[in-house]
Structure 1
Amino acid sequence: MASNSCGSLTQDSDEIKEMYCEECDRHGDGYATAVAFCVDCLDYICVTCQRYHKRQFKTHKIQESKGMPQDFYCEKCSTHPGQLIKFYCLQCNKEACQECKDNDHVNCSDVNHLPTLASDIQKCDELTNFSKNMDQLSKNIKDTENILDAKSEVIKKQEENAIFACKEQSNNLIATYKQHRQDLIDDFDKKMEETIARLKKERLELIQKLSEKERNFEKKVRTAETNMTQEVVKTNTNFKELKFEHLNLVGNLKALIVDIEQGQN
């Protein structure tokens, strides 16, 4: 709503980092830095104007230097170009200058001085609690990111271990089966010494059957290995997609926090 910088009324390209004297501006005396604020008149005044103001309005309350409102609002009224917009009517939900306030909002019961209203908002418990909640939420998001990164490393390691274990188990099964096949052949060879002629044909048929079984078994083992590897990779891919969606959600939430802070400003 408010800003701590005001454009100079006498220099279009310069930006003044403090509030100017409204009395000097109102009477065409040029630009002068405001050093005080009259609570009764709701005007910012310079050193010279403050001296005369105290003489003319002895009962007025003057806030000096850092004690005066710091949330300057330096837009001029579109209806009254010579007047600053420094009021806000909560009843009409409209901004107003001094003349607008006196003419258009004379019957309104909730017209507030903008810098004072901004100061009250900044000091309210709701805003303080909201800021604390935003800080805690940001910390929770960071903690969640750290947990996800840690779990991502664990899952990656588990994936590597699972693929290695599948490969090793497949090789062991094939080696065991080959050894079993060789044992059968060796046993048959012992018997063949006694009945070579009769068992020669049977031996050939048995070898062919065993070879076919070996190929089928190896095919099944390789298929199981491939399926299991694909499942492991698919699981890791799904987790990466979930992490990507979370990062998008975190980005949106951070952007929302920035929007909220900008909206607050």
Structure 2
Amino acid sequence: MLSPKARPVHSTYLYNVHNLLSSKIDPKLLEDKVRGIYASLMPREETFAKALYTFDIGQNDLTQSLFLNMTIVQVIAAIPDIVNHFSDNIKNLYSLGARLFWVYNMRPIGCFPQILTSFPSAKKDSVGCAKPYNRLAQCFNAELKNALARLRIEFPLATIVYVDLYSALYSLYTHPTKNGFERPLVACCGYGGKYNYGRDATCGETISVNGKNIMVGSCKDPLVRVSWDGVHFTEAANKFAFDLVSSGNFSNPPIPLKLACHPR
């Protein structure tokens, strides 16, 4: 998790991440490295069968497609291929001995300042989130959930948990005050506009305003804010979501995190 008090330097995250999409990572490349120069740094081989493998996928794959000018319909059409690639990676890990999988679904991207700023004409829901983009996330999540169900049938000796991070985080938008947060749709570290977000004024950058250079920095109290930089959540929001999902109440099957670490 990113510290809400961190002051990040400029990065090319928003522009180059589509070259490193989660669905395109080749496990064979990782395997070759593990057996190469990193071999002495790795745990014993049998340790990997006892490890819990966590996955957080979908956000970059879908949002970067949107910023490459694909329509929502086109992105939805690509979802099965993205999820199939992910399923293949799970199968590859299983063949290498992995047995415990904890898979987060996609966040409510329609509530992100980045999306709200970039697509201002999108229809909003009752809390101000962009409905078409949350529906896109829900389409991805449905495909992912079904894929994991198929993998459980194919690999009955594995523990494969689908974690509904979407619902846990969406509660921060429906009941922010109740959960100790405020201004959930506004970025903490950003500059400009209704949502305090601009692609040309991202967190940590130095920008010119009325002839004066200023650094885009943090809001006064990140501990009560949901969005850190318009794309990522604050540490406080991440902790809130983790406390919910680790209980198992947002999981299918409903296995708490501490029990998911135990092989069958």
TM-score (normalised: structure 1): 0.20
Based on CA coordinates, which of the two structures has the bigger radius of gyration? 1
TM-score (normalised: structure 2): 0.20
Structure with the bigger RCO (C-alpha within 8 Å, sep 6+) is 2
